[in-house]
Structures are given as C-alpha cells and as structure tokens.
Amino acid sequence: MNRFLITTALEETWKSDRPVLFLGEWCKLYNRKAVWENLDSEMMPYHWNDRKKLFNDYKYLQELYEELILELTEKLNKIHNVNHSIRYWRILIGPWLGYFVQMLFDRWSMIDLAIQRFEINGVNILQTTPQQYIPNDMDQFPLLFANDIWNESIYGQLLKSFTDISIEEVPYKNLKNSDSLVTTSKYIANGMTFRKQLQNGLIKTSAWISQKIVSDNEALIISSYLPTQQDFLLQLKLGQFPKHWHSTQTPQEIPNPSLRKWTLSDKNSTKFDEISRKMIPANIPTSYLEGYKKLSEQCKNLKWPKNPSFCFTSNSHIGSDIFKAWAATKVEEGMPLVIGQHGGGYGISKFVVNEDHEIKISDKYLTWGWDKIRDLNVQPTFNMKNPTLVRKKKSVGKDLLLVTVVYPRQSYKLSAEPISSQWLSYFEDQCRFTAALPSKLRYSLLVRLYSQDLGWNQKERWNDRFPNVRLDNGETSMSSLLKHSRLYISSYNATTFLESLSLNIPTIIFWNPEYWELRDEAIPYFNRLKEVGIFHETPESAAAKVAAIWDDVPSWWNQPNIQEVRDCFCNRFARTVKNPVELLKNILTTTKSLHQNN
C-alpha cells in the first residue's frame, strides 16, 4: 500500500486523510495519543533493534570518522590559512563530527529502509533557512539534536538531496524566519533555581579572581570532577595558588552560505560515504567555519596560563569550544593534556564512543580503576567523584529508591545502551520491576525521574501505569534521596551505581543485557555481582531479591562475601584510595616531567 511518510512528531508535516508511515516511535508523543492512534498508520521497525548491526555500524562509522577528520584537517587548514595538526582538529571538532556522523547515518538508514519496504507517495518538510538549524558551537548542539525541529531539518535535507520522493514544503507557525532553533528548543531548561544561580555566580567570581593571580607556567586544572576541597589541595601540592577556572562563551556568528560551498573527498565506497561528505559543510557549527577567526582571537586573549606545564580536565573536552581551541593550540606547543574519566559506562560497556575519543586526544587518560592494555596512555587511578576511603554513614531509611534515565527520542551517540525508541523497552522493564514488587513494598517505592523529559512524558506514563507510586521530578539531589532510602535500585549503566557502591550504600542493579552489552573484561566482575544478588538481568529477579532482604537490608549487605565482591568490583571500576591528592599529584608531575624531557 502507498503511504505518506512522517519523519518527526511535528504535526504540521502530517497528513490525516490518507495512510501514513511513521518513520519511528519518536514521531508519536505520548500526550498526543488522541491524534495519532486513530490514523491509518504503520510503524517502521528500528534498524538498530538488531544489536549486531549496531555494533557493526559502530565499527564502520569509526573508520569513516577517521577518514573524515583527516579530510577536514586538510580542508579547514586551507580555508583558514593555517597549518594545524590532525590532533588539533580532533580536539576541537572531533566531538561534533563523531556525534553528527552517527546521527546522520541513523536518520538516513531509516529513510532508506522506508523506501525499500514501502511505496512512499509523499512527505512534507518545513520551510527553514540555514541559520535556523546550524549550531553556533558544541555547547549549543545538544540544544538541537534532541529537538524535533532540528531532526526534521536533517530529514528534509536528506529527502531533498538524496531521494526522489515527492516533497511539499510547509510553514512552521511556531518558527519565524528570524528565529534560531536554539532559542526555540524545548530542550532548554525553564529558568534556574536560586541555588543554581548563586552557584554560577560564585564560579564566575572565582574565575575572575583566578585571572588576577595566574602564573604563565602553572598548570591549568579545570572541571577536574574532584570535590572542591581536594581540587584546591591538589593545586597547592603542585605549588600553585588554588584557582577555579571557568570557560567563557563562544562568540556568536551567523552562517554564511557562500562559505559552505565546498565538499570533501569523492572517494566514496558507500552511499552514506557520499552523503556524509556532502552534508558536513552544510551543517558544521559556525565556530569552526564563519566564527573560527573570532574563536582563535578569544583564545589568545584568555587570562589563562600562557605556557602551562600541563592541563588536566574531566569535563571540558567535549562541550566547551573555547577550552578545546585553547587546549588544541597549547598541545601543539608541547603542553601535555591529561583527561580524567567523566563517569559511568567507561571500562564496562562493550563500546563507548566518548571513551575512544578521549583516549585518542590525551597524553594521559586517567580511569577510575580499569586499564586498557593496547592504549599505553591509559592509567588506572580512582573514582574522581568519591576518591577517598571515607564512607558516608547511612541510616536505615524508609524508601525504596529507583533511579531512572531517559535518552533523546532519536539517537545522538553510539554506545552500548538503549538507543532512541529502545527506551520504551527500558521503561517497560521499570514497570515490570514495579509490578513484581509485593504491594506493601510499592508503598515504599520512590521513582526518581530523569530531570529532562526529552518528549517521553515520563510522569504521565508512570501515573497511567501506577497511579499510587510516588515520583520525584529529578531535581532533588541524589545525596538527599539516599539519606532517606533503605535500598537503592540502579536501572542503567552509568555513574550512579558506581558512586553508591564506592560509598558502600546497599545497592541492587538490574538491566537488560541485550541493551547494555558488557565488554569481555567486565563480564567476570558482573558475574560475581550476580552470584551474590547485587546484579540482576531481569526486573522480576531484582524485585524478588528486594522482597527477600527488605526487612533487614543491613544484615544482607554487610555479609563478608558481599562486601568482598563489592570491594573487588570497586577496585576495578570505582576505586577509592587513602591519599588521592598525593597519588594524582605524582601522576601529573611525572607526566609533566616526561614531556619536558622529550
């Protein structure tokens, strides 16, 4: 049957008078069920539900990325009349390029599958102009890729340039020609709490003070992930006055279509090779093209160390283009770049795209305990968020705390986790866990929703399935929630359970191993967690364990065999040490000395 293609949840592009084909579950917002459930519709199956295909595509896209970063190095050097190394451009544009190519591949794959499987009789796309969908920098990019308007614009470009489907352009009433998608994005938080405003003010004040007392040859330590007290103590031990650096905003620049009439190599072995090389010039952030000169000038004028002995960060190397441009320049001048592990999944998941990138751009990569034999710059250290052996005292609370997560409705990076509409399967697992609990325990259950909903309507879904279950909106701090909890339930592979285990907080973990694939080196550690009842592969198994231990959680948790398994796991993935600052100082000093001698 002929069907009209629908690519996003933007109903301006829909047709209700004919059979339609939804490109994915992201098209159907839960709170708009009354609109889409009555349509004559079919749903495209998601191509990455085949997880073997996902892993193979990941390897292909990593190879393509290496070709593209090399080509972009040559092209951008020529455009800007500079002669920077591939490492320079990898540090600066690598995060955007990696994310964008993976997202583009996903969007194109779904269009291509729809064309193969159905007779598509038409599609509507929105009328937009280039400045409305091109991000200024990597800091703005996340405000776009979780947004239906940006995704619709990418689908529009693909449909117009690479298919012969009949297209009609329609206006979007909520977006004027002068608007930017960044300012209209629903992903942007609505205001900040007073505490957050005060915190930001203190950070800016501290950064201003730091500029007044900086030495040209001192180390730059920024967003280290360490607790503030230990961050400052580290700087004192390095022989410099403690400072709290803060990256500034990238200069704003309007896209210029005349500067984007270039292409990359034509050595294409697949259709997507061609697509990616044509789409990159049209979508590359302005800070790497039109605004690159301003970006470079701003970096020269920073009041940061002029000849730093080294730079250490755990959180500025992805989103901050000001930091990345500065760091890339200093690396070319001989500065060692040390990067610390940012959070969970690293060293555990079968593949983590950010881990690959961070290891490649760093002179020394500091993990929370794991190693990687083939990468000599990887060095095990400790959990940067909870580095010491001191355990937080935990009283026996009354809550059963279940912490949940959401991901953008359309993919944004390739890692071993649920992607896009696979979140629906993840949500079903949370419902299965809840349903499997004895009724008396459901009254103790507190579900912490993810702080950003991203269009999934978490609260509505939970209220419809379990009206009496208590919900936290995700804004209450984890430390506050844990103080009132008897048992913590972790439902995804990320930072939170690494923190709770390292703090010796009673924890049960469960997730679907088909979506959270583990690397071979991590499997034995999770098998041991499974043997003692900490890790579970089904919601029902986790719920049964909760019911069995609920009346006396401490007696279960403090058993010697469970504590031994927890210690072993933490030593590998969330290590704590007696003197973390001294250990880190020695590593950083050694890294600095090695580069001074080369």
- Domain at 399-573: CATH architecture: 3-Layer(aba) Sandwich (3.40)
Tell me, what amino acid is at 581? V
Output the 3-class SS for 193-261. CHHHHHHHHHHHHHHHHHHHCCCCCCCEEECCCCCHHHHHHHHHHCCCCCCCCCCCCCCCCCCCHHHHC
Tokens 């959070």 sit on residue? 343
CA count, 13 A, side-chain hemisphere, 372: 22
pLDDT of residue 157: 94
| Among 506, 526, 538, residue whose Cα is nearest residue 573 | 526
87 pLDDT more than 80: yes
DSSP string, 404-442: -----SS--S-BSS--GGGHHHHHHHHHHHHHHS-HHHH
Distance CA 498, CA 466 (A): 29
563 pLDDT more than 90: yes
Which two tokens mark 258? 């005349």
Tens digit of each residue's pLDDT (9 = 90 or more) over 520-547: 999 999 999 999 999 999 999 999 999 9
* CB-CB contact of 582 with 237 (8 Å): yes
Which two tokens mark 334? 């001989």
| Among 338, 334, 330, 248, residue whose Cα is nearest residue 295 | 248
Mean pLDDT of 455-480: 94
Distance CA 55, CA 63 (A): 13
* CB-CB contact of 428 with 452 (8 Å): no
Tens digit of each residue's pLDDT (9 = 90 or more) over 298-342: 999 999 999 999 999 999 999 999 999 999 999 999 999 999 998
Mean pLDDT of 431-454: 96
pLDDT of residue 255: 92
Tens digit of each residue's pLDDT (9 = 90 or more) over 190-211: 344 455 555 555 556 655 566 5
Q: Sign of the C-alpha dihedral, residues 476, 407, 128, 169?
A: negative
Reported as a pLDDT band with limits 50, 70 and 90, residue 358 is very high
279 pLDDT more than 70: yes
Distance CA 32, CA 241 (A): 56
What percentage of the chain exceeds 90 in pLDDT? 80
Tens digit of each residue's pLDDT (9 = 90 or more) over 24-81: 999 999 999 999 999 999 999 999 999 999 999 999 999 999 999 999 999 999 999 9
187 pLDDT more than 80: no
Q: Which residues pair with 352 in a beta bridge?
A: 415
Full-model pTM: 0.92
* CB-CB contact of 36 with 52 (8 Å): no
| Among 546, 497, 522, residue whose Cα is nearest residue 383 | 497
240 pLDDT more than 60: yes
594 pLDDT more than 80: no
The mean predicted confidence, pLDDT, of the chain is 91
Tokens 């890339």 sit on residue? 328
| Among 221, 212, 218, 224, residue whose Cα is nearest residue 240 | 218
* CB-CB contact of 489 with 433 (8 Å): yes
Mean pLDDT of 176-188: 47
pLDDT of residue 598: 55
Distance CA 414, CA 424 (A): 18
* CA distances to 169, 301, 306, 318, 362 from 311, in Å: 49, 18, 12, 15, 10
Distance CA 238, CA 215 (A): 13
Of 253-267, 319-333, 499-513, 522-536, the one with minimum mean pLDDT is 253-267
pLDDT of residue 308: 94
pLDDT of residue 267: 86
pLDDT of residue 215: 85
Reported as a pLDDT band with limits 50, 70 and 90, residue 592 is confident
Reported as a pLDDT band with limits 50, 70 and 90, residue 596 is low
* CB-CB contact of 268 with 277 (8 Å): yes
| Among 568, 126, 573, residue whose Cα is nearest residue 381 | 573
> Counting Cβ atoms within 10 Å, is residue 202 exposed (0-12), middle (13-18) or buried (19+)?
exposed
214 pLDDT more than 60: yes
pLDDT of residue 192: 43
572 pLDDT more than 50: yes
Which one has a higher pLDDT value, 182 or 558? Answer: 558
Domain ranges of the chain: 399-573
Distance CA 57, CA 53 (A): 6
Return the SS3 of 191: coil
Reported as a pLDDT band with limits 50, 70 and 90, residue 130 is low
pLDDT of residue 526: 98
pLDDT of residue 430: 98
Which two tokens mark 350? 């079968």
Pairing status of strand 485-490 against strand 399-403: parallel
pLDDT of residue 412: 92
Q: Which residues pair with 471 in a beta bridge?
A: 447
pLDDT of residue 394: 53
| Among 81, 99, 171, residue whose Cα is nearest residue 135 | 99
189 pLDDT more than 80: no
Reported as a pLDDT band with limits 50, 70 and 90, residue 108 is very high
- Say which residues have a Cβ less than 8 Å from residue 486's Cβ, sequence separation at least 6: 396, 397, 398, 399, 400, 444, 506, 550, 553
